[in-house]
Structure 1
Amino acid sequence: MSKLVKLCMVLFVVTSFVSCSTDDDGGSDTSASLVGTWSVTSLDYEGTTSFDFLGETINTSFEGVGQNLDLDFTFTENPNEYTAEGSYDIVLDFTVNGMSETETTSVDNLQQVGTWERNGNILSIDGEIIDIDLDIPVGDTTGMSELTILELTETTLRLGQDVTEEVTEEGITVSITINSEIVFSRQ
C-alpha cells in the first residue's frame, strides 16, 4: 500500500502545488501585488487515480489536508523569484478499490527557490514547491507550472490548480485528476 501512496504523492508533486477545487467564483478581486511574504493558512487537495497494469485496473480516490502549517513564501520582483521555507504535515485519506486508509506525511525544513511570472490571473512558477522524497519515476517534472490566482487582495492570496494527466511508465498507465487550493495571508 505504501508504494501506492507514494505514487499518488509523486503525481501530486508533478503538479507542483496542492489543495481543493478551483471553481471560479466570478467576483474575487485579483488586483493586489503578489510581491511580499505570505504565510500558508490552508493547503487542501482531492483527486482520483486509475492504475492500469496487465489488464487490471486499480481505482483510488484521495483527499489531502495540510496541518501544522509553518510555511512561508516570499515573492520578489526584478528578478521575479520566490522562496519557500518552513514545514507542514499532509494528512492523506485515500480509498483503493473500496479499502480506506489514512497516512500522515511530514515535511520539515523545506527550503525551495524558483522563479515566477504573472499573466493576468495565471501565475507560472518553476522549482519544487513540495519536497517529498519519492523513489518512483514519473514523467518529466521540469518546466513551469500554471496556477490560477483565485483571489489576490492586500491580505489574502488564494491559488488553485486543476490537473488531469496520464502517464505510462514501465508498463503501468496512471491517470490522475487533482483539484487543489492553497490559501495564504500576507505577513
Structure 2
Amino acid sequence: MKKNVFCLITLFAVLFAAVSCDKKDDDEAGQAWKLANEQAFNAIKNNPAYTEFKSPGNEGSIYYKVLRKGTGTKPIFYTSTVKVYSKGWFVADSKERGITNGMMFQKWLAEDGIPATLKVSELLSKNGVTVSFKGIQAALQKMVEGDKWEIWIPYQLGGGKSKASTLTLGFGGASRPPIPAYSTLVFEIEVVEVMQ
C-alpha cells in the first residue's frame, strides 16, 4: 500500500513538473514574442519613410507609409462603409507558433476578386464575426479613396494582450495562423471605394 501511495505521489510530482515546464516555456516564448514585436515597431519610429499619428483617445501611435496617394475627396468616417484590398503580415519569428517574419495572416487582393466591403466601426469578417482593431479603424479614417498605405499598428491598438482568432476582417477567409497576443500588425490597405 505504501509503495502504491509513493508511486502515485511520484507520478503526480512528475506530471506537475512537466506541466510547470510547459507553462514556463509558454511564458518565455510569449515574452520573446512580445519583445521581438516591440523592437520591430520601435525600429519604424526612427524610419523617416513613415509618418506617425496618434490614435483617437491618444492610446498609442500608428505609423504609416503612403505607397500611392489617392485622389478621393469623400472623407472616411467611423460609420462609413468602404471597399478595400488588404494584406497583413507578422514582423517577428516564433518557432513555437510556426510563424515567420513576413508570413501573412490575412490577405484579400485584386487577384482574389472583388474588393472586400466593410463598415469601419465593425470591420465584419466574411463569416460575420465582428472584430474591432482600433488601429485599422483609425488609419482608415485618415485615408481617402485611391490611397494605398502600409500601416504599422502596435499590439495595444491591434489584438491586444490576448490571442486573437484567425483574422479575416472581411478580407478573405483562407486559413491563417491565429494572431498571438502582443503582435505588432502590419497591413497594406488600398481604399478602392468609399460607399457612404
Does TM, scored on the shorter chain, surpass 0.5? no
Task: Classify the TM-score, shorter chain.
Answer: 0.3 to 0.5
TM (norm. structure 2) is: 0.34
> Relative contact order (alpha carbons < 8 A, sep ≥ 6): 1 or 2 greater?
1
Based on CA coordinates, which of the two structures has the bigger radius of gyration? 2
TM (norm. structure 1) is: 0.36
